[in-house]
A and B are shown apart, each in its own frame.
Chain A
């Protein structure tokens, strides 16, 4: 079975802090994705990557950056967290269909 893991299930940070969310997949997938999910807005794509050191902006990249130094790992970075970044963050990987990690519920105070 595909396994996608995320570094934290719950995270509480303060406004202005730098936040790192890490995602690891064990299926040698080239494609990896970061989404956020908010009530009424559905899943929104933040960034994705088709290969090591490659990144593409999704629909809502503002306020975020990403890093893909190794094939299995895709990190999402909030350079200066703000309250409107309080959300559920979901990482996914897959060649066509996508497999999701358990999510990180981030609260920014």
Chain B
């Protein structure tokens, strides 16, 4: 099983800032990609899937770069409520999801 790597942070940003996280993976056979959000002492919750063409959901944009083997998550106009740990994950055919260790975001007023 190949690793998924994330910068653990923490990323400390003021409200309104734009912040981006990257996640690199080593297995080019990876097929599906996801971003999860995890609040302290809670379970991970699916934030968004990541498609080759990139996808956007409100203030959140996810992109996949297969050539360089990374996925990214961009958060615009950060809110206090965005403070959490963000986990990237990927699926290789026939196996379970592999998760990164997460990037911690702290948004302050």
A-side residues, CB < 8 A to B, are 31, 33, 40-43, 45, 48, 58-59, 90, 96-103, 105
Q: Which residue of A lies closest to B94 (CB)?
A: A50
Which of B34, B41, B99 interacts with A42 by CB under 8 Å? B99
Q: Which residues of chain A have C-beta atoms less than 8 A from B49's C-beta?
A: 97
Contact, CB under 8 Å: B45 / A98: no
B-side residues, CB < 8 A to A, are 1, 32, 34, 41-46, 49, 87, 89, 91, 96-97, 99-102
A102 touching B42 in the complex, CB below 8 Å, given contacts A58-B96, A97-B32: yes
Q: Which residue of B lies closest to A56 (CB)?
A: B96
Q: List 9 A-B contacts (CB under 8 A).
A: A43-B44, A43-B87, A43-B99, A58-B96, A96-B32, A96-B91, A98-B97, A99-B46, A100-B43
Interface SS of chain A: helix, strand, loop or mixed?
loop
Q: Which residues of chain B have C-beta atoms less than 8 A from A43's C-beta?
A: 44, 87, 99
